[in-house]
Amino acid sequence: MISVNVNNEFGKLNTVILGIAQSFGGTPKVEECYDPKSKEHVIKGTFPKENELIQELENFSNVLEKYDVKILKPSIIENYNQIFTRDLAFVIGNKIVVSNIIEDRQKEYSAIEKIISKINPQDVIRMEKNCRIEGGDVIPNSENIFIGFSKEDDFKKYKVARTNEAAIKQMKTIFPQKNVIAFELKKSDIDPKENALHLDCCFQPIGNGFVILYEDGFKNKSDVDYIHDLFGDKKLIKISKEEMYQMNSNIFSISDDVIVSETGFSRLNDNLRQKGFIVEEVKFNEIAKMEGLLRCTTLPLIRE
C-alpha cells in the first residue's frame, strides 16, 4: 500500500508519478488543441516530436533518481498524450483528490488507476461531477491551499478555464482545517502570452519562503497584494511576460534547497543560485511547447 503525504511544494520528495511520452499521438490537428501554445506550434510546424519528448522526460527522470526519488509511471495508452500527470489528481496531507479534468483528457485516468488502487480507499477523494478542477491549479502550502480558478462567465467562455467556483466550495468542505485561498486567473484561448493556463503558470512557492511570481497572470490586483503581504516583498522572485510564456514558474522542487529547472532559464537559475538553491538544469523546451513544464509532468505522492 502507498501512504500518501504532501503538505507543500518543496518537502523532500520520496515518491512521484512521472508523465510518459511513449505513443503520445503525434502532432494534433489545430482544432484538436486545447491550449493556445500547442495550437501556436502546430500552426508553425514546430510541434515536438515523440523522441524529443521521451528524451526530455528521461533527463528529468535521471535527476530524480540521483536524489533517490521513487518514480512510478502511468500505463501506456496507445496514441494518447500522457505527459502532464499533475492535472489528474493531487495530494494534500494524507488524502489524494482525483480531479475532474476536461473531456479531451478523460482517458488519462485509467492509466493511473492501478497506482491509486494501492492507496487506502478511505484516503481517495473523488470530486463531485459539477466541480471542475485540475492539479495544476492546486498548490498546497502548509496550512494554506492556493487554488487558481475562473468565475462562471469565464469558465463557460474559455476552453483554458479548468477550475470552477463549485470546486473551490467543495475543497473548503474536504479540507476544513486548511485555509483555501482562491485566485482568479487571466485566460485566453488564442494568445499564450495572455493566458495563465493554471496557477502554477504564474505562481510557485519554493523553499526558504520564496515564491516565483508573474503578477499579470492574476485578474485582481488584490490577489497580487495578498501574495506580497503573505510572503513579503523580499521573498518574491518576479518573472516577465516572456518568462511566463516560456514556463519559468513551472519548475520543480525535489527538496527545500534542490530545484529542477529548464536549461534556458538563465536569469531565473542564476537568481535561484544566488539565493542558495542547488539548481539541476535539464533541457525541457520541447515539452514547454505544449504549455506545461516540469511541475506539470509530476504528481507527487509522498514528500517527507
Cβ(15)–Cβ(70) below 8 Å: yes
Nearest to 247 by CA among 201, 301, 182: 201
Tens of pLDDT, residues 45-75: 999 999 999 999 999 999 999 999 999 999 9
Segment 4-23 shows an average pLDDT of 98
Q: Report pLDDT for 35.
A: 93
Tens of pLDDT, residues 110-123: 999 999 999 999 99
Task: For CA atoms 282, 287, 293, 295, give the dihedral sign.
Answer: negative
Instruction: Using pLDDT thresholds of 50, 70 and 90, give the confidence band for residue 297.
Output: very high
Stronger pLDDT, 109 or 206, i.e. the higher one = 206
Tens of pLDDT, residues 145-157: 999 999 999 999 9
Q: Report pLDDT for 101.
A: 86
Q: Report pLDDT for 105.
A: 87
Q: Report pLDDT for 254.
A: 98
User: Considering the chain, what is the average pLDDT of its residues?
Assistant: 96
Q: What is the DSSP string of the chain?
A: -B--BB-SSSSPEEEEEE-B-TT---SPPGGG--SHHHHHHHHHT-PPPHHHHHHHHHHHHHHHHHTT-EEE-PPPPTT--B--GGGGEEEEBTEEEEPB--GGGGGGGGGTHHHHTTB-GGGEEE--TT--B-GGGEEEETTEEEEEE--HHHHHH-TT----HHHHHHHHHH-TTSEEEEEEB---SS-GGG---SGGGTEEE-GGG-EEE-GGGBS-HHHHHHHHHHH-GGGEEE--HHHHHTTTT--EESSSSEEEEETT-HHHHHHHHHTT-EEEEE--TTGGGGT--TGGGEEEEEE-
**Can you identify the CATH homologous superfamily of domain 13-303?**
L-arginine/glycine Amidinotransferase; Chain A (3.75.10.10)
Return the percentage of the chain with pLDDT > 70, whole number.
100
Residue 106: is its pLDDT beyond 90?
no
Residue 85: is its pLDDT beyond 90?
yes
Q: Please give the Cα distance from 277 to 265 (Å, whole number).
A: 14
Q: Report pLDDT for 240.
A: 98
Q: Please give the Cα distance from 230 to 210 (Å, whole number).
A: 11
CA distances from 164 to 168, 177, 230, 265 (A): 7, 21, 24, 31
The number of C-alpha atoms within 13 Å of 36 and in the hemisphere containing its C-beta is 17
If 0-12 CB within 10 Å is exposed, 13-18 middle and 19+ buried, where does residue 78 land? Answer: exposed
Tens of pLDDT, residues 19-38: 999 999 999 999 999 899 99
C-alpha cell at 252: 520543480
Residue 102: is its pLDDT beyond 90?
no
Going from N- to C-terminal start, the domains of the chain cover 13-303
Segment 3-19 shows an average pLDDT of 98
Cβ(137)–Cβ(90) below 8 Å: no
Q: Report pLDDT for 147.
A: 98
Q: Please give the Cα distance from 145 to 293 (Å, whole number).
A: 21
Tens of pLDDT, residues 176-230: 999 999 999 999 999 999 999 999 999 999 999 999 999 999 999 999 999 999 9
Q: How many CB atoms within 10 Å of residue 249?
A: 27
Instruction: Using pLDDT thresholds of 50, 70 and 90, give the confidence band for residue 103.
Output: confident
Tens of pLDDT, residues 240-269: 999 999 999 999 999 999 999 999 999 999
